[in-house]
Structure 1
Amino acid sequence: MSAALHIDNLSVVYDDFHALKDVGIRVEGGESFGLVGESGSGKSTLLRAVAGLAPISGGTIHIDGEELKGSKRSKAFYRRVQMVFQDPYGSLHPRQTIDRLLLEPLAIHALADSDRRIARALDEVGLGNGFRFRYPHQLSGGQRQRVAIARALIVEPAILLLDEPTSALDASVQAEVLNLLEQIRRDRKLTFVMVSHDLGVITHMCEKLAVMRNGAVVERLSSQELAEGAVQENYTKNLMIASKGFVKA
């Protein structure tokens, strides 16, 4: 059976800088997979390469057994895979209402019944219909990120790529958004690939993870192994110490 996402020997090079070096991960359908590491380790670049936002220099990416060629992505790809970015304000057009922001992906993919879909998407992320005609600047950071999640969900993808989706939010709001994402994954049986520098977040949200350093995967383990401190690499042990709020089980 094909993995939902299978990356093999993936490399990304900018000029002479190797952002990714022969990276490989396998994520099964319905699984939540974490990517952790310090800033510049390549974890966000990996998500961007999958989404077609980073140039691929070598290796392969397969979605449900189908190989992605180059960096160009089809509309069919974006029906199956959506990405939620770190900055909820930067990812939303400031001059478009929430209604317009949610209508755009429906129009791109020629999906009918837009009123019902928009109402459902807002309800699913804990925002009512009253938010439809507000602008992003009228929303809090947590509300903006909920809109970004709703926009990703509205085309009913199978895989969500989550690039530090709560790191720009206050701690109390972070927990709310993470719990929301966890509930949505269970309800929709989604596959998650989540980037975070916070090992506590990854332990809470993900079943398996890969630890990245200098563009390469240095360790693969389960969240249970991480929580129990059953790690092999000193780099991972140092991340555990540095990760604020991480509690050993």
Structure 2
Amino acid sequence: MTIRIENLSVTFDGFQALKSVSIAVGKGESFGLVGESGSGKSTLLRAVAGLAPVSGGTIEVSGERLSGGRRSRAFRRAVQMVFQDPYASLHPRQTVDRQLLEPLAIHRIGDGERRILKALDEVGLGPSFRFRYPHQLSGGQRQRVAIARALIVEPEILLLDEPTSALDASVQAEVLNLLEEVRGRHGLTYVMVSHDLGVVTHMCGRLAVMKGGEVVETLSAADLAGSRVVSDYTRRLMVASKGFSREAVSG
């Protein structure tokens, strides 16, 4: 397994945001985390990234047992995160070029010119975007830059925190299809947070349904699409998720 999480707990100021959560994600797999707002799915991603205070349990990534919030330079290159809001995740006063150079400098990776052009091309943006500022880009273009910034250090794992929920419906499918193409091209492992069951069945082979900081059910996307679920909570999510189907996001 690329990611193995066992009995993970996270506590913020006395509030237990995660309660003994266990999941396992295989190499090259796309794994979804779904649930209502406040269910703990984003907290789980942040715990893996070292951005949430772990109070119990273990996190193992590619055979390495992680401790507290400390992450090695090798981990931070191998595991990249794409956040929900492309308007907040890019520095408003830095050009695209500068924002793509920064991770290369942090990880002491050379050949910046070639890597920047390659990363932009990979996310469907040409070289003309290099010297634009975020306010000159659409929401979808900003999220493509954020994805390029994650890809430029050649990671093995992408943690995707609602990567399309802040985008217009018309561009959500484009970004999702881009992510799917990138994963296939590079054999990446994805862990994707979403409240949208249509997105998860489009992108992920398996998923964990979360409620109140706990995993209530782990199942395949095929079982979800076929309504072969165990938990009543999962059934309620399906009813609440309008347009729940792969086709809803594949246009």
TM range (shorter): over 0.9
Does the CA-based 8 Å contact 1:228-1:248 persist in structure 2?
no
Runs of 5+ unmatched residues, structure 2: none
- The 2-side partners of 1:108 and 1:244 are apart by 43
2:52 to 43, 51, 54: 54
Over 3 Å off, 4+ runs: none
Does the CA-based 8 Å contact 2:202-2:246 persist in structure 1?
no
Does the CA-based 8 Å contact 2:9-2:20 persist in structure 1?
yes
Identify which range, 186-195 or 66-75, moves more after superposition.
66-75
SS in 2 for 1:193: strand
- The 2-side partners of 1:132 and 1:169 are apart by 22
Does the CA-based 8 Å contact 2:81-2:150 persist in structure 1?
yes
SS in 2 for 1:238: helix
Q: How big is each residue's C-alpha offset from its partner over 1:51-88, in whole Å with a ceiling of 9 and x where there is no partner?
A: 01100000000011110111111211111100000000
- The 2-side partners of 1:154 and 1:245 are apart by 34
Where does residue 76 of structure 1 map in the other structure?
74
Does the CA-based 8 Å contact 2:29-2:188 persist in structure 1?
yes
Does the CA-based 8 Å contact 1:225-1:231 persist in structure 2?
yes
Q: How big is each residue's C-alpha offset from its partner over 1:90-113, in whole Å with a ceiling of 9 and x where there is no partner?
A: 000000000000000000111010
Displacement of 1:172: 1.5
SS in 2 for 1:99: helix
Where does residue 235 of structure 2 map in the other structure?
237
- The 2-side partners of 1:200 and 1:241 are apart by 12
- The 2-side partners of 1:73 and 1:136 are apart by 29
Quote the sequence identity (%). 73
Q: How big is each residue's C-alpha offset from its partner over 1:150-194, in whole Å with a ceiling of 9 and x where there is no partner?
A: 000000000000000000001110000000000000000000000
- The 1-side partners of 2:41 and 2:168 are apart by 22
- Letter of the structure 1 residue corresponding to residue 87 of structure 2: Y
SS in 2 for 1:22: strand
Where does residue 155 of structure 2 map in the other structure?
157
- The 2-side partners of 1:240 and 1:56 are apart by 31
Where does residue 141 of structure 2 map in the other structure?
143
TM-score, structure 2 as length reference:
0.97
- Letter of the structure 2 residue corresponding to residue 51 of structure 1: A
SS in 2 for 1:23: strand
Where does residue 33 of structure 1 map in the other structure?
31
Does the CA-based 8 Å contact 2:6-2:59 persist in structure 1?
yes
Q: How big is each residue's C-alpha offset from its partner over 1:17-44, in whole Å with a ceiling of 9 and x where there is no partner?
A: 1100000000000000000000000000
SS in 2 for 1:57: strand
Where does residue 17 of structure 2 map in the other structure?
19
Displacement of 1:247: 3.3
- Letter of the structure 2 residue corresponding to residue 164 of structure 1: E
Where does residue 166 of structure 2 map in the other structure?
168
Where does residue 6 of structure 2 map in the other structure?
8
- Letter of the structure 1 residue corresponding to residue 203 of structure 2: M
Where does residue 204 of structure 1 map in the other structure?
202
Q: How big is each residue's C-alpha offset from its partner over 1:131-152, in whole Å with a ceiling of 9 and x where there is no partner?
A: 0000001000000000000000
**RMSD of aligned C-alpha atoms?**
1.0
SS in 2 for 1:237: helix
- The 1-side partners of 2:177 and 2:121 are apart by 15
Displacement of 1:248: 8.7
Does the CA-based 8 Å contact 2:100-2:149 persist in structure 1?
yes
TM-score, structure 1 as length reference:
0.98
Runs of 5+ unmatched residues, structure 1: none
Matched, 1:97 2:122: no
Does the CA-based 8 Å contact 2:33-2:192 persist in structure 1?
yes
